[in-house]
C-alpha cells in the first residue's frame, strides 16, 4: 500500500504542476499515466483525473465519464477537483486523494487540502 500511495502522490503532484489555462485535460492525463506506468499501476487506474466543481459537486468537464471532455482545454477561473479516479489494486484496496483547485493564470490555487500523507511522504 505504501508503494500505491507513492504512485498516487507523484501523479497528484504532476497534475498540480501541469494544470494551467490552455492545457488540454488529455495532456495532463497522459502525464499521469506515465507516472503510473513507472510504478506498473496503469491498469488499475480509471482514466479521467478531474471534474468541474460549481453549483453541483461534479459538473463539466467530467473527464472520467465523458471521454470527449478530455479534449477540452483548462480555462482560467475554472474550479476543478483532482485526482478524481482512485487506484484500485486487487488484494490491497483502493486509494484516492482528491482536492479542489481554482485555476489561475499561472497554475492552480488549492481551495481544499487534505494531507494524504499516510506514510510520511
Which residues sit opposite 102 in a β-bridge?
A: 79, 109
SS3 45: strand
pLDDT at 118 over 80: no
Tell me which residue has cell 508503494: 3
Tell me the percentage of the chain whose pLDDT exceeds 90: 59
Kind of pairing between the strands at 93-95 and 99-104: unpaired
Q: Which CATH architecture has domain 2-110?
A: Alpha-Beta Complex (3.90)
d(CA 90, CA 104): 38
pTM for the complete prediction?
0.88
Q: What is the pLDDT of residue 103?
A: 98
6 or 1: which leads in pLDDT: 6
pLDDT (tens digit, 9 = 90+) per residue, 76-96? 999 999 988 788 888 888 888
pLDDT (tens digit, 9 = 90+) per residue, 23-65? 999 999 999 999 999 999 999 988 889 999 998 878 999 888 8
Amino acid at each position: 500500500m505504501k508503494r500505491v500511495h507513492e504512485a498516487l502522490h507523484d501523479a497528484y503532484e504532476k497534475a498540480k504542476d501541469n494544470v494551467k489555462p490552455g492545457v488540454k485535460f488529455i495532456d495532463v492525463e497522459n502525464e499521469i499515466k506515465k507516472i503510473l506506468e513507472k510504478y506498473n499501476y496503469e491498469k488499475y487506474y480509471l482514466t479521467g483525473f478531474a471534474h468541474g466543481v460549481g453549483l453541483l459537486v461534479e459538473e463539466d468537464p467530467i473527464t472520467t465519464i465523458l471521454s470527449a471532455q478530455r479534449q477540452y482545454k483548462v480555462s482560467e477561473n475554472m474550479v476543478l477537483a483532482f485526482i478524481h479516479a482512485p487506484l484500485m489494486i486487487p488484494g490491497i484496496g483502493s486509494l484516492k486523494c482528491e482536492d479542489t483547485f481554482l485555476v489561475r493564470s499561472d497554475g492552480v490555487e488549492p481551495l481544499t487540502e487534505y494531507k494524504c500523507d499516510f506514510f510520511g511522504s
